Amino acid sequence: MGFAMKKEVCMLEKEAKEKYDARVKRVMTAAANKEPDRVPIMPGMMLFAIDYYGHSMAELTYNAQVGVDTSIKYLEEFQPDSAAGFYSNAGKGPMLELMKPKSCVWPGAPDKRIADDSYHQFIEFPVLEDEDMDFFERDYTGWLFRKGFPKISGLLEPFADWNTSALGVNYDLSALAGQLARPEMRDAIETLWKISDMSKDIQKIHAAGMSRMEEMGFPSFGISFRNSVPFDSYSDFYRGTLDSMADMYENRGVIERFIDERIESALANVRTVLKANEHLKDRKWGHIILHKGMDGFMNEEQYVNLYWKHLRMLIHEVTSAGFKCFVYSEGPYTSRLDHLTEVDKNMVVYHFEDVDLALAKKKLGNIACIAGGFRASVVEHGTKQQVIDEVKRVLDICAPGGGYIFEGGYGIGKAPIENVHAMFETLHQYGKY
């Protein structure tokens, strides 16, 4: 490499580093509920980008590199303030075929149950049946292996025949060895090894992609935790939405015992993850995703005692460690705003999909940063002028005084390119302080 070329490379690297630092400063200033130079722009664009750059969700599901390459093209063209996140199932198609999940279908699957350009679809059903409640509370591990695992995965069906009561702790492991040596168990375990190796390969692709995006000047901000609000786990993965709603009246004690037990492990996980990322607290936030707790799902008393109590503990665990906490709510959330004020000041970012933005700004404006609130459907189905008007409406409400990050209420899907350009151009021009 000649001297001139080396000099050019160094200048490009310097420019990328300056842009990276500017974006971190812009986003973290807003997250601290202050005014940056302009409103940070961080819309979720994965489905739009996949379609716009000529791919399908099925391709992405079976090739993680498609996600990386598409994200890089999107960053280069639209210049948002953060690196593009990866679709959760990117590259996992072959793994899913081996897992044989019963609770989801995905684009590109051999059964073709959904279109190739669809997101994966979650199939909700009660994994924990009414007749198994006593077993669930008496012997959670036994229930998990013999009932839970076989209900969610065809690969794990051999666990249904485990005699967990015979697996005592003593020097003689012959009972355990006998159960693990069954042909169907050997096959399941060997397949799990394959899945683990495949997962590591995908993680390497994602890690290399994120490193490339950072080198281009696009930071990533989220630190994710394995566990979240315990009620979400109970409702999402064990009982399903309808049965968990009924349980708040008919099996309240089961819920309370479950969530009170799970919160300790959730908090421990938060502490472990934050400790590992201690050196990044000036440019990363703890990311908590909410699935339930929205308006109309539970009454005020239920929200306070079954949901907010633990969500508040998780938020405090993050903020007391000196990290900002990004709370991603789904569904309508206006009736919960008063509770959301009960956090450490200027340490929390609340993402909203559906909320009374003016009321949220009024109640949270001096306490927390607001993100989202923009209707992605306007970009997907509206006119260019409607996109411009909606961007300005949201900024007029949320931008004054700082403490606002622009995101879609949810990720933006297929949309006319002129609408997407109009959104970005309006944000850059109208979102300055």
How many angstroms separate the CA atoms of 266 and 215, rounded?
Answer: 33
Q: Residue 278 belongs to what domain range? A: 3-87+205-430
**pLDDT level of residue 181 (50, 70, 90 thresholds):** confident
Residue 4 has pLDDT above 90, yes or no: no
Question: Does 401 fall in a domain?
Answer: yes
Domain presence at residue 181: no
Bigger pLDDT: 88 vs 110: 110
Lowest mean pLDDT among 150-154, 180-184, 263-267: 180-184
**31-40, 178-187, 401-410: which has the highest mean pLDDT?**
31-40
Q: For the chain, give the mean pLDDT.
A: 93
Predicted confidence band of residue 5 (pLDDT cuts 50, 70, 90): very low
Higher pLDDT, 236 or 85: 236
- Looking at the predicted structure, is the pLDDT value of residue 8 above 60? no
- The total of structural domains in the chain comes to 1
**How many CA atoms does the CB half-sphere of 184 hold within 13 Å?**
11
pLDDT of residue 162: 83
Q: What is the 3-state secondary structure (H, E, C) of the chain?
A: CCHHHHHHHHHHHHHHHHHHHHHHHHHHHHHCCCCCCECCECCCCHHHHHHHCCCCHHHHHHCHHHHHHHHHHHHHHHCCCCCCCCCCCCCCHHHHHHHCECCEECCCCCCCCCCCCCCCEECCCCCCCHHHHHHHHHCHHHHHHHHHHHHHECCCHHHHHCCHHHCCCCCCCHHHHHHHCCHHHHHHHHHHHHHHHHHHHHHHHHHHHHHHHHHCCCCCCEEECCCCCHHHHHHHHHHHHHHHHHHHHHCHHHHHHHHHHHHHHHHHHHHHHHHHCHHHCCCCEEEEECCCCCCCCCCHHHHHHHHHHHHHHHHHHHHCCCCEEEEECCCECHHHHHHHCCCCCCCEEEEECECCHHHHHHHHCCCCEEEECECHHHHHHCCHHHHHHHHHHHHHHHCCCCCEEECECCCCCCCCHHHHHHHHHHHHHHCEC
Q: Which of 347, 353, 300 is nearest to 325 (CA)?
A: 347
Residue 200 domain-assigned (yes or no): no
Instruction: Look at residue 299 and tell me if it is in a domain.
Output: yes
Residue 341 domain-assigned (yes or no): yes
Model pLDDT, residue 175: 79
Average pLDDT over residues 346-372: 97
Q: What is the CATH number of the domain that holds 387?
A: 3.20.20.210
Within-domain flag for 31: yes
- Residue 4, burial from CB neighbour count under 10 angstroms (0-12, 13-18, 19+): exposed
**Is residue 120 in some structural domain?**
no
User: 26-85: per-residue pLDDT in tens?
Assistant: 999 999 999 999 999 999 887 899 999 999 999 999 999 999 999 999 999 999 999 987
Is the pLDDT confidence value at 300 over 90? yes
- Does residue 334 form part of some domain? yes
Amino acid 9: pLDDT? 46
| pLDDT value of position 153 | 97
